[in-house]
Structure 1
């Protein structure tokens, strides 16, 4: 399944690199990510990375293909098959794609915490246990369950913990992408809650992210905080209106430059079990995103100090060998079929 998951994003990025190519500029914070972690492989003509496995990736949400660029970032880190994404439940009903995402064990949310909590806990427990080598992949199974449906595991039954499966868990704490409609609802919610709304991002939701980090605490090493900006979008515009899926796939209208700023936050530095402090921490992260985007819309750059940050630019594409791996299986499947058909009609 992980191999299928990897081939899906390889195929999607290959299609986009042909019909709607984009260049990506990735900037990392030197204090939390060693310089050169993301680098340009000139021999292959593409970006590569040595990012950590077992990480939660949080990002602002502007257009429907944000997750494609984050999944591609996992690919350059050799983690394309280890990606899990949190999505709104309505996406599960998309023909074909919805079924595929279910098979990939992506997590669909109703946005009603009482309905989501048990399902989320079970999914996260499996991710965490498999990453530590004591999950289903090692032959372990839940020994019981609560009345509410929460699985109970016994890790002591697993003797060999060498078989470990990493993860990159991607989620958007804003819950939806920025648009005129979501901005208005967000502003109304902020006023009712006594909060200050942001200019370029929506207010993040704390409950879900805090719960996820608590559940993954034993295996998660870092939270990768990602800020994404797109060329061609002005401060008073919305990326989702400019880069609609139809415009990207049918008209080839994609951002010429995708700016991605990444910093790593150690899980031990996040106040996971103090609700007020966690709220303040996450809102501070989002305030800094808002300030970065404000600079970007004014100057087309995050205006980061080059002494404190490292940037590398390259195309959003996959390796030629990866493309070949996508085609290999269908070609090998087709050849014997063609041979049998040719025998039937007497060609050979």
Structure 2
């Protein structure tokens, strides 16, 4: 979602911004590598042999400290203004997050919210399998227990449910983020999505793609007994949606709006069909 504004346009990519962005990425990449080498194996493998709870706790500490560098880059170095609205988010909740997916960097701005609630090291994502193969970052995704999917339910269901079954301990903090659209929004994808919805007699959506309901329903089914709430998050960008490169160099966005709607788990239906209908109704 783009936020209309009469304020300044997207910043120009100057040589200084380019140099600063490259330097920041090099710092982030090198520190990620150091944490992976010196702490990742120990916390995610050695400690886990004795306690899954303390393995996750120690992993969250080290990797949460590293992830905090990203909001620092966005808000302090690039001077991106992050505006929160909607319901108050209590601390120490176990939650399932659903969010719109306007661009490739949406998931990074959830870190800004998690940081403010002390849950930065505990946020996990359902993401496409190809991202798990990225150098350095892919290994980090695995250590942080992100759930990888092929986006084909017949392939993903068993592995996804198995992974979800390990997240049920209420003593382990959890923010599990799902992007029901399955991919980032473009006008072309929106047209195809609307055509499919029309053919199937489903709601015609204009600001998001038709959500894939099975993954969200599975998450809710497996974790319902250990969740406090579902956060329905809408992310909007001032002037235009940024790319990863825009984000790193401070070209865009100049302002991000994050609207949170907190929903009690017991207010959401239990059957898969009803959950699917509920998700459709809550798509903007």
TM-score, length basis structure 2? 0.75
Report what 1:100 is aligned to. 140
Report what 2:166 is aligned to. 126
Question: What is the deviation of 1:82?
Answer: 1.0
Q: Deviations over 1:257-296 (max 9, x none)?
A: 2111111111111112151x2222111111xx2xxxxxxx
The yes-or-no answer on 1:207 pairing with 2:214 is: yes
List gaps (5 residues or longer) in structure 1.
38-49, 132-163, 234-238, 290-348
The residue matched to 1:53 in structure 2 has which SS?
Answer: coil
Report what 2:252 is aligned to. 254
The residue matched to 1:175 in structure 2 has which SS?
Answer: coil
Report what 1:2 is aligned to. 60
The yes-or-no answer on 1:285 pairing with 2:282 is: yes
Question: What is the deviation of 1:76?
Answer: 0.6
The residue matched to 1:255 in structure 2 has which SS?
Answer: coil
Question: What is the deviation of 1:167?
Answer: 0.3
The yes-or-no answer on 1:80 pairing with 2:116 is: no
Q: How does 1:148-159 map to 2 (within 5 A)?
A: none
Q: Partners in 2 of 1:68 and 1:247 — Cα distance?
A: 13
Question: What is the deviation of 1:177?
Answer: 0.9
The yes-or-no answer on 1:221 pairing with 2:218 is: no
Give the structure with the higher percent helix.
2
Q: Partners in 1 of 2:278 and 2:214 — Cα distance?
A: 13
The yes-or-no answer on 1:196 pairing with 2:195 is: no
Q: Partners in 2 of 1:180 and 1:268 — Cα distance?
A: 35
Report what 2:268 is aligned to. 270
Q: Partners in 2 of 1:108 and 1:185 — Cα distance?
A: 25
Report what 2:110 is aligned to. 70
TM-score, length basis structure 1? 0.62
Question: What is the deviation of 1:19?
Answer: 4.4
Question: What is the deviation of 1:90?
Answer: 1.5
Question: What is the deviation of 1:18?
Answer: 4.6
The residue matched to 1:24 in structure 2 has which SS?
Answer: strand
Report what 1:26 is aligned to. 84
Instruction: Please say if residues 229 and 258 of structure 1, whose CA atoms lie closer than 8 Å, have aligned partners that are also in contact.
Output: yes
Q: Partners in 1 of 2:275 and 2:251 — Cα distance?
A: 39
Q: Partners in 2 of 1:183 and 1:5 — Cα distance?
A: 35
Superposed structure 1 runs of 4+ greater than 3 Å apart: none
Q: Partners in 2 of 1:19 and 1:246 — Cα distance?
A: 15
Q: Select 2:69's aligned residue among 11, 19, 27.
A: 11
Structure 1 5/280 Cα, relative in aligned 2: closer, same or farther at 3 Å? same
Instruction: Please say if residues 96 and 231 of structure 2, whose CA atoms lie closer than 8 Å, have aligned partners that are also in contact.
Output: yes
Q: Partners in 1 of 2:92 and 2:205 — Cα distance?
A: 30
The residue matched to 2:224 in structure 1 has which SS?
Answer: coil
How many aligned positions are there?
A: 226
Q: CA RMSD in A?
A: 1.7
Structure 1 247/87 Cα, relative in aligned 2: closer, same or farther at 3 Å? same
List gaps (5 residues or longer) in structure 2.
1-58
The residue matched to 2:225 in structure 1 has which SS?
Answer: coil
Q: How does 1:139-150 map to 2 (within 5 A)?
A: none
